[in-house]
Structure 1
Amino acid sequence: MKDVKKLIEEYRNAAILQKEASSDGDYRTANKQYSRLTKIYKILEKDKDLREKVLRELLKDENIYVSSWAAAHCLGLNIYVDEAVKLLEEIAKRKDIGILRLDAEMTLKVWREEGQLKFY
């Protein structure tokens, strides 16, 4: 089993860098960090105990980039769904966060229409 604290730190770093790079138009970095998040997602997908520990912590993260990624991954893994939906709905209502608001809206829309989210 991968170290929980190390995985949380890797996830946090990748989520922050991915959102910042996307906002800055640095798609090379954004795509690289998206790939890192996807690799972590696949690790969590295979290990229920690890997924519960890691996502529980990340969903409460003070950084909105981190918590929004965690919420989307929770919906994809069907874990902490109520908390994830609540967080994304709160983000979608905020007028001060630009594109992140649209990200939250679209994540919820796709999840509600498709019944699932996929991360490749």
Structure 2
Amino acid sequence: MKRKNCTIDIAVKSARTTVVTKEGIKEMMREARIMRNYVHQNVVRIYGVALDDDPIMIVMELVRGGSLLEFLKSNSTKITDSERLNHMASSAAWGLEYLHSRSCIHR
């Protein structure tokens, strides 16, 4: 994706409209509208939603390495560095604190 003469890497999540109800689509749109206003280093940035065609696509910041849950599952016996664990927990807590300070509850 290009923005103001720079290139950024993005991730795209998609959902087929045949699988998602109309109410589900409305909820996705509402959440995306809210989330695109949040900018914090510990919160994945949402850039927008594409509804023109099937599937619906949510365009967001690319986080390399997969989700935190996937990382913890695949590295559970390898992570013994307490400083690294503390950094991961603190980063997650700062992201949640940012969202909570804006009356957003992560689910």
TM-score normalised by length of structure 1:
0.28
Higher RCO structure, 1 or 2 (CA under 8 Å, sep 6+): 2
Instruction: Identify, as 1 or 2, the structure richer in helix.
Output: 1
Instruction: Identify, as 1 or 2, the structure richer in strand.
Output: 2
Q: Which has the larger radius of gyration?
A: 2
TM-score normalised by length of structure 2:
0.31
